[in-house]
Amino acid sequence: MKHITLTGILLPAILILLQACAGGKLNNSGHIAQASAGPPDIPRPAPATSSQVYRNDIHIKAVRHFKQTYPGTEDERWYVIENGFMAKHKVENVNIRLDYDIHGNWLYTIRYINEKKLPKEVRAQVRSTWYDHAISSVEEIQYGTLPLIYIVHIHEGNDWKIIRVCEGEMSEIIPPGKAE
């Protein structure tokens, strides 16, 4: 009788521990930790608040897409975010982020580039309007078959602006909470 009861208690506990070791870290409630970020929204992606996970925890379709897009990359980092997955890696000093939905379908890619890697036409267009502002950072967003979108962060002293450039059209993005 003791053997049956002991097996009934220990076996589920061992299985839970094995799942935790193979699948990621457990949080206080005994579930695999996941991010609490909002759903992806172009051009403002969900922040990466999840801890890194293993490729085995990611939908195989997402891993295959990543490996086809960036063959030979072995140092990518995977994260579970709300409503999907995210991969981060670096190519030639450019940080790259790819987001996937929960079914492993590619959503978009963001390349974090500097002013030197910004296409000359886009740089000239931004500089022609905000010639006194310095370009601090740029995100290049690839979303499906749509043209590339550039989010250019500029500043002059304490005056910060975010500019969206797509297909020759330029507009200022007003961040939430900032008065127009």
Q: What is the pLDDT of residues 144-162, one digit of tens each?
A: 899 999 999 999 988 899 9
Domains, the chain, in order of start with CATH, read: 31-109 (no CATH), 114-180 (3.10.450)
> DSSP characters for the chain?
-HHHHHHHHHHHHHHHHHHHHHH--B-TTSSB----PPPPBTTBPPP--SPEE-GGGS-HHHHHHHHHHSTT----EEEEETTEEEEEEEETTEEEEEEEETTS-EEEEEEEE-GGGS-HHHHHHHHHHSTTSEEEEEEEEE-TTSPPEEEEEEEETTEEEEEEEETTEEEEE--TT---
> What mean pLDDT is predicted for residues 95-110?
96
Q: pLDDT digits over 77-102, tens only?
A: 999 998 899 999 999 889 999 999 99
